[in-house]
Structure 1
Amino acid sequence: MAQENNLDNGEIKRTGTWLTASAHIVTTAIGSGVLSLAWAVAQLGWIGGTAALIIFSLVTLLTSFLMADCYRYPDPLHGNRNPTYMKMVKTVLGGVQYKFCGLAQYTNLIGCTIGYTLTAAISMVAMIKSNCFHKFGQQADCNISNNKFMVFFGITEIFLSQIPNLHDLSWLSILAAIMSFGYSFIGVGLSIAKIAEKGHHVKTGLTGLVVGVEVTRTEKVWNIFQAIANIAFAYTFSTVIAEIEDTLKPSPPENQVMKTASLIGITSSTILYASCGLVGYAAFGNEAPGNFLTGFGFYEPFWLVDIGNLFIIIHLVGAYQVYAQPVFSIAESWANTRWPQSKFMTKEYNARIPLVGTWRINMFKLIWRTIYVVLTTLIAMIFPFFNNIVGLIGALTFFPLTVYFPIEMYLVRSKMPKYSLEWIGIRLLVGVCLMVALIGVIASIQGIILGLKTYKPFKF
């Protein structure tokens, strides 16, 4: 972010290293996507599940390497810096591609805030169910609607959304990162304990759910596509690669350090993903729940299940803001540019809040941010299908943000000859990833449509 030579204009000295960059990657990567990995592996089986995790990690690693070389352009060692993903796309590919990149990025941000609202509510309900099952037995009727908890989560986010910007949310981001590691390790630990139980035996298979026994042939096909999309969601963190590289000090060269950090960060994340997915599958077998901490494969110790879900809730409270603040910012910047003389847009009022102090409030921000949270909450209430929503977000954003733009930027920067073997290989990779993404989108939408046939929205 700062200047240490004549190419770096800024005031804040960049001091990041491969260690801090690796930590940023792991922190960004580990999130609610891990919760669906056991279910995804159950649809694909030992062979398909393991292969999918490895392939997605290798593709992500490759495109991260390509993006690292585009941080400085046109020369990866002495070119001008591109501190953000969108700036990088605009510099290398031009304005039209830049607009498509913005559309993909903000689709991802908005989609994640919707998904986080749903996931947080599911975890709140799971805590209540966990205590109900502990008190009345595993056969007790402990069903409860998610909707009231989505409303509660939305109200919380309305208040947090009035925090001016991400710089004032650093403490919340750190807390959220710690929580994400906490519930991931709790899930893995509970899975290992379940495997070690006396008499534990679940049905697993090399190809997952058995056609004609557990699912029909059509269901098997759709489930495979949804599972691949769910795994893609876990790997959609390339959008922050440029921002992370921008924290690195200029010497040694940022692209070299970033490649080391990417290798360490993505390898570490994949190991944890594999632990959640493969160990979770070994614990639950073909009956693995869509969310392995809320699907009640675990009943005891109920207090540890509750802690895991509490960690999820705390993480998602912070993660919502990390994803929502850029959406707030771009809308507010546009409005201020469009109506610079409007007091409604610019004037701030001092409000004294007990235990917090004086809070500066702008009416446009207050209304706009509140409307945004209300809309995301309503959409989550209308489409409360965890695996399908996760899969849809993953399929929509993995291809453009993790595959297409990094590869297109690399082709432009490297001036690779058309129809060379390397060019053909890269184009084939892009084509395959596009097909996988499209199939994932279709499968996730199909799952949502099926769910809507029996689901009654807004039922409390």
Structure 2
Amino acid sequence: MASAVEYAAAKQKEEDEKKLNEWLPITSSRNGKWWYSAFHNVTAMVGAGILGLPFAMSELGWGVGVSLMVLSWVVTLYTLWQMVEMHECVPGKRFDRYHELGQEAFGEKLGLWIVVPLQLTVEVGLCIIYMITGGKSIEKAVAVLSDDGGPPIKLTYYIMMFASIQFFLSHLPNFNSITGISLLAAIMSVCYSTIAWTASLKKGVLPDVEYRSRESTTPGKTFAFLSALGDVAFAFAGHNVVLEIQATIPSTPETPSKKPMWKGVIFAYIVVALCYFPVAWIGYLVFGNTVDDNILLSLQRPQALIATANIFVFIHVIGSYQVFAMPVFDMVEYFLVIRLKFKPSKALRFVTRTLFVAFTMFIGMTFPFFGSILGLLGGLVFAPTSYYLPCIIWLILKKPKKYGLDWCTNWACIIFGATLTLLAPIGAMRQFILQASDYKFYQ
């Protein structure tokens, strides 16, 4: 009798979990194609960080800057491959979310405490930064096209304009429902990246260009160098949504989801290289140590082209915001239903998503320190989730032979990523304090 009751309870729990997964935004639709993976990953990767790469190069110098960017591209491609492989590393089970993979490696409770704070910080932080970037892009486009610098509208209101779009789009139900937006965003990212480096190339190297550090003191140079490490780490953020993207792809024993997912990732990383490297290196070559923390701010001519690039950035970050917000919606809605016993409903979804957009808008308006936030977040949370947490999980789950090539490669990535985590926030915090010291709220 007891066993029958237990069986019925287990069956009911399984049925409830199935219904919940059919409602949650990550798992409610599994009809994604490999090209969905491609442009979701391009949208996630080629974001606000690319605009700060020439500035990071100006703090790192040619040798370290080029080496760090190429090494980061290789390391993060490797760790992304690991995550794609581990999505179904347990037969009959899919790890649809980053924290589920962490729980498999570290245990139910510890896995949550290790992964969720990092992943949430990345995703919420990016949504805030995209709020700022969207507002600044429209502000810059208006200023470039106006002879008098545009109407006297505060940045705060431009951010509110961007948020008004997100209030609407955030009520799309699941990942696959934002496919069209993500595709448009991916196209825009390639377009404005191309404009950034071609416009820089056309402008030509400035006659008085210098490639030495803009800082005059040794402490200043050191802190700037450390902050730039975080800027580079920030540019590789796709890992925080890769399992969630793969969860939207159907999987069978004959065609596991990792095959189309990896095909999309390779395409996306080729696009990343074609966008990142020319923007970073040509931007630094042209402007040297006078480059702004957003390369488009350094370009003033031709006016129509620069305004167009800023509009492209605006459209792109609309999609990027949604790609990183969707896993947050999934976590929050899961928590409210499972832990707080709310009933899955459109009303619950409307309230939670509206409050989230309002929160990111408020923080973005209050602290629009674009460059310093990149470095701070890059060191603290992007490096762990992109550079070495996948390696740690791989070592635990796959158990490669000690001192073998696989084992040594993973430990090298862990040491490299952990170094970024330790050093980058030091310089970024100093930059943040310097910018905040003379800032007036809601200016």
- Smaller-chain TM-score range? 0.7 to 0.9
Aligned-partner Cα distance in 2 for 1:204–1:439: 26
Q: Which string of whole-angstrom CA distances, capped at 9 and with x for unpartnered residues, describes residues 406-433 of structure 1?
A: 1122112332355778646643542342
Q: How does 1:9-158 map to 2 (within 5 A)?
A: 16-17=33-34, 21-74=37-90, 80-95=93-108, 96-132=110-146, 135=147, 145-158=154-167
Which secondary structure does the structure 2 equivalent of 1:290 belong to? coil
Deviates more, 1:163-172 or 1:430-439: 163-172
Which secondary structure does the structure 2 equivalent of 1:201 belong to? coil
CA shift for structure 1 position 284: 1.3
With the length of structure 2 as denominator, give the TM-score of the two structures.
0.83
Which secondary structure does the structure 1 equivalent of 2:294 belong to? coil
Q: Is the 8 A contact 2:213 2:221 kept in 1?
A: yes
Q: Write the letter of the residue equivalent to 1:290.
A: D
Q: Write the letter of the residue equivalent to 1:117.
A: M
**Number of the residue aligned with 1:288:** 291
**Number of the residue aligned with 1:209:** 213
Change (3 A) 1:12 1:32: closer
Aligned-partner Cα distance in 2 for 1:21–1:328: 19
Change (3 A) 1:116 1:13: closer
> What is the aligned residue count?
415
- Any unmatched runs of 5+ in structure 1? 1-9, 349-361
CA shift for structure 1 position 254: 5.5
Q: Write the letter of the residue equivalent to 1:203.
A: V
**Number of the residue aligned with 1:413:** 397
With the length of structure 1 as denominator, give the TM-score of the two structures.
0.80
Q: Which string of whole-angstrom CA distances, capped at 9 and with x for unpartnered residues, describes residues 162-191 of structure 1?
A: 344444333222222222122111112211
Deviates more, 1:56-65 or 1:110-119: 56-65
Q: Is the 8 A contact 2:233 2:420 kept in 1?
A: no
Aligned-partner Cα distance in 2 for 1:411–1:131: 54
Q: Is the 8 A contact 1:131 1:302 kept in 2?
A: yes
Q: Is the 8 A contact 2:104 2:111 kept in 1?
A: no
Deviates more, 1:364-373 or 1:217-226: 364-373
Q: Is the 8 A contact 2:84 2:242 kept in 1?
A: yes
Q: Write the letter of the residue equivalent to 1:145.
A: K
Aligned-partner Cα distance in 1 for 2:77–2:358: 37
Q: Is the 8 A contact 2:57 2:228 kept in 1?
A: yes
Aligned-partner Cα distance in 1 for 2:166–2:306: 24
Change (3 A) 1:424 1:186: closer
Which secondary structure does the structure 1 equivalent of 2:216 belong to? coil
CA shift for structure 1 position 224: 1.1
- Aligned counterpart for 1:195 among listed residues 204, 226, 244: 204
Identity of aligned residues (%): 28
CA shift for structure 1 position 13: 7.5
Q: Is the 8 A contact 1:67 1:409 kept in 2?
A: no
Q: What is the RMSD of the two structures over their aligned residues, measured on CA atoms?
A: 3.1
Aligned-partner Cα distance in 2 for 1:315–1:453: 31
- Aligned counterpart for 2:357 among listed residues 346, 360, 373: 373
Q: Which string of whole-angstrom CA distances, capped at 9 and with x for unpartnered residues, describes residues 341-399 of structure 1?
A: x7xx6666xxxxxxxxxxxxx2x444433332222222222221111112222222223
Aligned-partner Cα distance in 2 for 1:61–1:162: 32
**Number of the residue aligned with 1:436:** 420
Change (3 A) 1:420 1:318: closer
**Number of the residue aligned with 1:182:** 191
Q: Write the letter of the residue equivalent to 1:194.
A: K
Aligned-partner Cα distance in 2 for 1:14–1:169: 13
CA shift for structure 1 position 310: 0.8
Q: Is the 8 A contact 1:332 1:365 kept in 2?
A: yes
Q: Is the 8 A contact 1:116 1:320 kept in 2?
A: yes
Q: Is the 8 A contact 1:15 1:249 kept in 2?
A: no
**Number of the residue aligned with 1:328:** 329
Change (3 A) 1:16 1:308: same
**Number of the residue aligned with 1:352:** none
Q: Is the 8 A contact 1:176 1:318 kept in 2?
A: yes
Q: Which string of whole-angstrom CA distances, capped at 9 and with x for unpartnered residues, describes residues 254-305 of structure 1?
A: 6567556545532441232111100111221211111011x2x222221111
Q: Say yes or no: does 1:447 pair with 2:431.
A: yes
Q: How does 1:157-306 map to 2 (within 5 A)?
A: 157-195=166-204, 200-205=206-211, 208-209=212-213, 214-246=215-247, 247=249, 251=254, 255=258, 262-293=265-296, 295=297, 297-306=298-307
Q: Is the 8 A contact 1:222 1:443 kept in 2?
A: yes
CA shift for structure 1 position 97: 1.9
Change (3 A) 1:370 1:413: closer
Q: Write the letter of the residue equivalent to 2:275.
A: L
Change (3 A) 1:428 1:377: same
Q: Which string of whole-angstrom CA distances, capped at 9 and with x for unpartnered residues, describes residues 301-326 of structure 1?
A: 21111111111111222322332233
Aligned-partner Cα distance in 1 for 2:102–2:72: 22
**Number of the residue aligned with 2:13:** none
Aligned-partner Cα distance in 1 for 2:28–2:291: 51
Q: Is the 8 A contact 2:43 2:323 kept in 1?
A: no
Aligned-partner Cα distance in 2 for 1:125–1:153: 11
